[in-house]
């Protein structure tokens, strides 16, 4: 089986890909962050460049997966965030966030699904954010497009279930790697104190959830919160 991670070049994505590679064959994509400096193992994992706004790139990636002739678990992690309040968020800011966070996820799922249908097995795993629920100020593009991603996953779960394909969301809270790295120590402390488990999430927590969804054939259309119980 191959785990295909779209948008796995962030610190969080690389760590998750590395953890999953102990159990599965993993191919992970990057867009701007060239993995040339990564260690050999990661260079292998981050084998594919894919800009999800490019139909040609998507088609090349799907052809790559088709050539592998293996069961596929697709993990969609790519994201674009616009930290702007609604009044300052232009229509093109919104469109880019929706395109990267939701529309491209649907486009890729639609193109990978026929490969899954051939094998009567497939897993779609979409990575979302707790902000789709908490909707904090400044996330009109990010949180709302993640919300659209979550609903899209539920629709796909109903449409593809009869082909042995499940579609689920993992909705992440605050992770130690990635977005949280850009915040100040004071902000992180404040966030940590709001999390019942008293700590930020780890890449291992994310990899564990993906493994669970891959193994489960009766979990479908779910939104699994990985957030320490916020
Ligand atoms: N880290 C957190 O605390 C946290 C919390 C909640 C949810 N999440 C979710 O977890 C996932 C990973 O988060 P992160 O913090 O690692 O985010 P990140 O650092 O912003 O990384 C975003 C990823 O998306 C890729 N990407 C952006 N635009 C793209 C495009 N046009 N085409 C293809 N790939 C594109 C980036 O590739 P390049 O860098 O190569 O351009 C990168 O791999 C996201 O879906 C995010 O919403 C994270």
180-196 pLDDT, tens per residue? 677 888 989 998 999 99
- C-alpha of residue 162 to centroid of ligand 1, in Å: 31
Instruction: Give the pLDDT mean for 89-114.
Output: 98
Tell whether the model's pLDDT for residue 24 goes beyond 60.
Answer: yes
User: Which ligand 1 atom is the nearest neighbour of the CA of 174?
Assistant: 3
Please give the number of the atom of ligand 1 that sits closest to the Cα of 81: 20
Q: Whose CA is nearest to atom 45 of ligand 1?
A: 77
| Per-residue tokens: 162 | 């009869």
Calpha distance 77→185 (Å, rounded):
25
Q: What is the mean pLDDT of residues 61-89?
A: 96
Assigned token pair, 230: 């916020």
Helix or strand (DSSP H, E) at 53: none
Supply the pLDDT for residue 40: 57
How is the chain split into domains, by residue range?
2-226
Residues in contact with ligand 1 (CB, 6 Å cut-off): 7-10, 12-13, 30-33, 50-53, 77-80, 100, 127, 129, 172, 174-175, 178-180
Residue labelled with tokens 């669970």 = 212
Q: Is the pLDDT of residue 5 over 80?
A: yes
Residues whose CB is less than 8 angstroms from the CB of residue 128 and which lie 6 or more positions away in sequence, other chains included: 146, 147, 149, 150, 169, 170, 171, 172, 223
- CB-based contacts of 40, cutoff 8 Å, min separation 6: none
Query: What is the distance in A from the centroid of ligand 1 to the CA of 17?
Result: 13
- Using DSSP, state whether 82 is helix, strand or coil: coil
SS3 125: strand
Alpha carbon of 10 to ligand 1 centroid (Å): 6
Mean pLDDT along residues 66-80: 96
Question: Band of the pLDDT at 63, cuts 50, 70, 90?
Answer: very high
**How many degrees, rounded to 5, is the angle at CA 127 between CA 122 and CA 132?**
135
Atom 26 of ligand 1 has which residue's CA nearest to it? Answer: 78
Atom 36 in ligand 1: which residue has the minimum CA distance?
7
- Residue 159 CB neighbour total at 10 angstroms: 13
Per-residue tokens: 146: 């993640």
Distance between Cα 98 and ligand 1 center (Å): 13
DSSP lists the bridge partners of residue 49 as: 30
Beta partners for 168?
A: 125
- Mutate which of 5, 6, 12, 201 for ligand 1? The one with the most ligand atoms within 8 Å of its CB, which is 12
d(C-alpha 126, C-alpha 219), whole Å: 14
**pLDDT (0 to 100) of residue 39:** 56
Bridge partners of residue 224, in order along the sequence: 170
Ligand 1 atom nearest to 206, measured from its CA:
10
- Ligand 1 centroid–CA 115 distance in Å is 25
Q: Where do the DSSP E strands lie in 39-100?
A: 48-49, 72-76
The CATH number fitting domain 2-226, selected from 3.40.50.720, 1.10.630.10, 3.40.50.300, 3.40.50.2020: 3.40.50.720
Percent of the chain at pLDDT exceeding 90: 87
> What gap in Å lies between CA 26 and CA 160, rounded to an integer?
23
How far apart (Å, rounded) are the C-alpha atoms in residues 8 and 70? 20
């Amino acid at each position: 089986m191959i785990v295909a991670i779209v948008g796995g070049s962030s610190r969080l994505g690389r760590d998750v890909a590395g953890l999953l590679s102990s159990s599965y064959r993993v191919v992970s994509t990057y867009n701007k962050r060239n993995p040339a400096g990564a260690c050999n193992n990661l260079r292998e994992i981050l084998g594919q460049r894919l800009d999800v706004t490019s139909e040609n790139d998507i088609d090349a990636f799907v052809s790559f997966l088709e050539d592998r002739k293996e069961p596929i678990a697709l993990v969609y992690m790519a994201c674009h965030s616009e930290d702007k309040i609604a009044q300052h968020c232009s229509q093109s800011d919104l469109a880019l966030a929706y395109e990267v966070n939701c529309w491209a996820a649907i486009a890729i799922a639609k193109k990978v699904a026929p490969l899954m249908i051939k094998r009567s097995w497939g897993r779609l795993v979409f990575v979302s954010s707790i902000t789709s629920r908490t909707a904090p100020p400044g996330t009109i593009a990010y949180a709302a497009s993640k919300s659209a991603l979550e609903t899209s996953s539920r629709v796909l779960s109903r449409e593809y279930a009869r082909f042995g394909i499940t579609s689920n969301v993992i909705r992440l809270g605050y992770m130690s790697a990635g977005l949280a790295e850009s915040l100040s120590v004071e902000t992180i402390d404040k966030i940590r104190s709001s999390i019942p488990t008293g700590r930020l999430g780890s890449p291992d927590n994310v990899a564990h959830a993906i493994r669970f969804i891959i193994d489960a054939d009766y979990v479908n259309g779910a939104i699994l919160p990985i957030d320490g119980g916020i």
